[in-house]
Amino acid sequence: MTEARVWLVTTTTPTEADAQKIARTTVAERLAAGAEVTGPAMSVFWHLDQLGEGQEWRVTLKTSAAVRDRLADRILESHPWAGGPEIIAAPVVWTIDGYPEWVEKFTATPE
Domain total of the chain: 1
Q: What is the CATH number of the domain that holds 82?
A: 3.30.70.120
Domain span at residue 22 reads 6-106
| Residue at 1 is within a domain | no
| Residues paired with 63 in a beta bridge | 7
Instruction: Determine the longest span between alpha carbons in the chain, in angstroms.
Output: 49
In this prediction, residue 39 carries a pLDDT of 97
- Prediction pTM value: 0.92
Helix, strand, coil shares, percent, the chain, to 5: 30, 40, 35
- pLDDT tens digits, one per residue of 7-36: 999 999 999 999 999 999 999 999 999 999
